[in-house]
Structure 1
Amino acid sequence: MPPVPEENDDSHTEPTPVRAVHFAEQALLGALFLEPTRIAEVDLDAVHFDNRTHALLFAAMRTVELPDPEKHRESADWVAAVYAKARPQAPGLPHTYPHTLVQACPHPGHVAAYAGMIRADHARRTLRVHAERLARTAADPTLPHRVDATVAQADRLGSLLDQFSGQFAPHPGSLPRTPVAPEPAAEAGEEAVDDEQLLLATATGSPQTVQTMRWLMPSDFTVPLFGAMWGCITGLVHRGGSVDPITVLGEAQQAGLLTGAVTAQDLLGLLSDPHGVPDHWGEKIVRRALLHRARTVADRIVVFVDEPANTPYQLITGCRRALAEFASLHTRWNRATQPAPTTPAARGQGNPSAIRAGPATAATAKQLRTGIAR
């Protein structure tokens, strides 16, 4: 017997709340009990059914030999045989349920339409499962290669969308009807704050390295102020300007970053304590941004899927757009992690303050977490 869903409802009773697919499944099975030969018009497998009992009955229909149409009109033997085939795996299935299914079918000739509803709901459920896996993978700190695992799960989700795209016809109004909420900001944890502060300090001390770090964007930072400061530094570097804490401070002033909560002394202190090399800290920032983007993309897909007004084609379009945002960041991650030749000056060699690639001093980190970064 073909596989049937294992995690769905194993009861013949109506779920709460009752979804449209439940009635579509009942109508399709009722149509096949009435006219078994119509099973040739149904391009489904048992796994497409949401209700496990319905899946078992459909699988039984696939395995029990079809009856002669004339004899079937006068005998319920085939119905009894299907019931007998399915019941061992559904012990609570009452013998009257096939009759209930027959009564639930408005028109046996509409089996293709019922099958389309079932296939669409299966696509919706499957996309949700894969989106949840993507979110769990990206959020799991115990995975030894979390980025690789996250990218692999995103690729599987993309392949699934390619598979579904050939099953549902396009139509006007392809975008999901669900409004897209802004991406939530990543949590500015202790480690993130330290990494971002050290990136700014080391980039100010080794501006030549910044030329090779176009893969790092201000939006990758968890602290908006630090992202804006990175924009100030890269702006100076790409214009060929002089880069040191004072000139960066001038850029920050022009960008309106000096406020009552953030003073010139604060920013000078932020830029004057380099440790390590810029690309080391930059890679950590992009990695964190990539995992955060994977979680937000997964959440967005779940929102699309949970909106019943979205058609399968709209779901596919919306999910592809969301995954494209992840793919663009993944491209930048690949650029960040590709080995590139560097000079001693670019790597901070010979600079005593660049020897230790560790966290900021305790005093600086505490100030950032309790002051500027918040």
Structure 2
Amino acid sequence: MNPLLGAEQALLGAVLLDPNQLSHLDWLAPDHFYRPVHQALFAALRKLRSDGHPAVGADGPVPLSWVTDAAKEAGLHVRGLTPVYPHTLIQACPRSEHAPVYGRMVLEGAIHRAVAQHAIRLHQVARADALRGEVKGALRSADVLAGVLRDLARRWGTEPRPVAPTTAPGAAPAMPPVRGDQVAEDERFLLAVLAEQPRAMEEVVDWLRPGDFANLAYGQLYRCLGALHHRGEPIDRITLLWEAQRRGLLADGTLSGEQLTAICDGVGAGSAEWLGERVMRSSLTRTAAASARAVRALAEDEALVPGRLINYALHALGPLDEVRVRWETANGSPAPKSPASTPVPDGPPPARVHVALARSTPRPVPPSSVLPGSAPTPSAARPPSRGHS
């Protein structure tokens, strides 16, 4: 038998045997159950309790009407519930006083399902945004997923904080970018503009990173451009080729001289900022889809307890948060510029050194501080189970 199905059946059987067990399950909701018939039954049992059914709080054996009334009420909201099934649930319950433990198992399964469902949603929206050339939907879905993780942490009684998995999960196969031809064209055009107009690096250097390029070779070429820019050296076809050779990109086959020449000889007229934003937009939706796949893989690992699942999932959203901060920097209001420093003859300006260090060692985005919630704890004393009359 599936362990989750067994837990749902045992929990409902415990409540059918002992209605007072509902007082220990106020933190559990009907939608935490996987099977619709179980959702309807648990909702019916809670309704009977709130309506003051005679079986709740009564001394002595539990009247049979508790079972029949629950089945009748549930049958109004779900199809396929037979009068025999509640008795099957009673037989599936080993001990009715273990209902809170069974409920915790049901909640654990619900947490895994909720995380997986929202991760799938984020992946779908990110791919759709990539097709439309937008990012709002992906960012909104990422916020929803993060909010769900924090809410689930509160329900489970743990503190939501990003934690890296102790063992690195198996890397999922990389998916090609949506509209890959257009993405590659934007990246190639941007590099041509930066090679032709070295001053254009100032427009993108603060927020565009080599990892934002879908094409590995283009990302490495952008790294070479950034290195020349940070050192204050001239940028042209020869210096760029020399920098690529110094970094071993020609020897390992990442780049070829023909590729670099084709980019440098391409049309170099255009707006680096506009092209950079297009590359950044593609990077954001691609990162959102990758984070969604990572979260879904975690949610489908049944061996992960909810606390670890939530914190690992928050960690998996970290790369998306980092890209998002840079995207907002690229599209937000420009920060007030400080007075230009006087260039030092022996080296590049201090502002350029600061940017170079920031690019080399990007600071991680600190997680938002969230007060830990606490889940209701079941009472220590539980009434003994009672039989039906």
Normalising by structure 2, we get a TM-score of 0.77
Q: Name the counterpart of 1:25.
A: 8
Residues 77/137 of structure 1: CA separation in 2 closer, same or farther (3 Å cut):
same
Residues 289/144 of structure 1: CA separation in 2 closer, same or farther (3 Å cut):
closer
Separation of aligned partners in 2, 1:258 and 1:142: 32
Q: 1:38 aligns with which of 21, 24, 28?
A: 21
Q: Name the counterpart of 2:218.
A: 226
Separation of aligned partners in 1, 2:20 and 2:167: 39
Separation of aligned partners in 1, 2:125 and 2:103: 33
TM alignment of 1:285-324, pairs within 5 A: 285-324=279-318
8 Å contact from structure 1 (residues 178, 303) kept in 2:
no
Residues 82/182 of structure 1: CA separation in 2 closer, same or farther (3 Å cut):
closer
Q: Name the counterpart of 1:205.
A: 196
Alignment partner of 2:76: what SS?
Answer: helix
Separation of aligned partners in 1, 2:167 and 2:10: 28
The answer to whether the aligner puts 1:67 opposite 2:49 as a matched pair is no
Q: Which amino acid aligns with 2:35?
A: N
Q: Which amino acid aligns with 2:269?
A: H
Q: CA deviation at 1:178?
A: 7.0
Q: Name the counterpart of 1:130.
A: 118
The answer to whether the aligner puts 1:245 opposite 2:237 as a matched pair is yes
Q: CA deviation at 1:75?
A: 2.9
Separation of aligned partners in 2, 1:91 and 1:153: 33
Worse overlay, 304-313 or 243-252: 243-252
Q: CA deviation at 1:130?
A: 0.7
Separation of aligned partners in 1, 2:19 and 2:147: 34
Separation of aligned partners in 1, 2:103 and 2:285: 38
Q: CA deviation at 1:329?
A: 0.5
**Unaligned 5+ runs, structure 1:** 1-17, 342-374
Residues 135/205 of structure 1: CA separation in 2 closer, same or farther (3 Å cut):
same
Q: Name the counterpart of 1:367.
A: none
Q: CA deviation at 1:174?
A: 8.0
Q: Name the counterpart of 1:112.
A: 100
**Unaligned 5+ runs, structure 2:** 336-389
Q: Name the counterpart of 2:209.
A: 217
- Deviations for 1:328-371, whole angstroms, at most 9, x for unmatched residues? 01111111223549xxxxxxxxxxxxxxxxxxxxxxxxxxxxxx
Alignment partner of 1:195: what SS?
Answer: helix
Q: Which amino acid aligns with 1:244?
A: D
Separation of aligned partners in 1, 2:58 and 2:97: 18
Q: Which amino acid aligns with 1:312?
A: P
Q: How many residues align?
A: 323
Residues 204/53 of structure 1: CA separation in 2 closer, same or farther (3 Å cut):
same
Q: CA deviation at 1:201?
A: 1.3
Separation of aligned partners in 1, 2:61 and 2:168: 48
8 Å contact from structure 1 (residues 137, 146) kept in 2:
no
8 Å contact from structure 1 (residues 72, 78) kept in 2:
no
Relative CO higher for 1 or 2, CA cutoff 8 Å, sep ≥ 6? 2
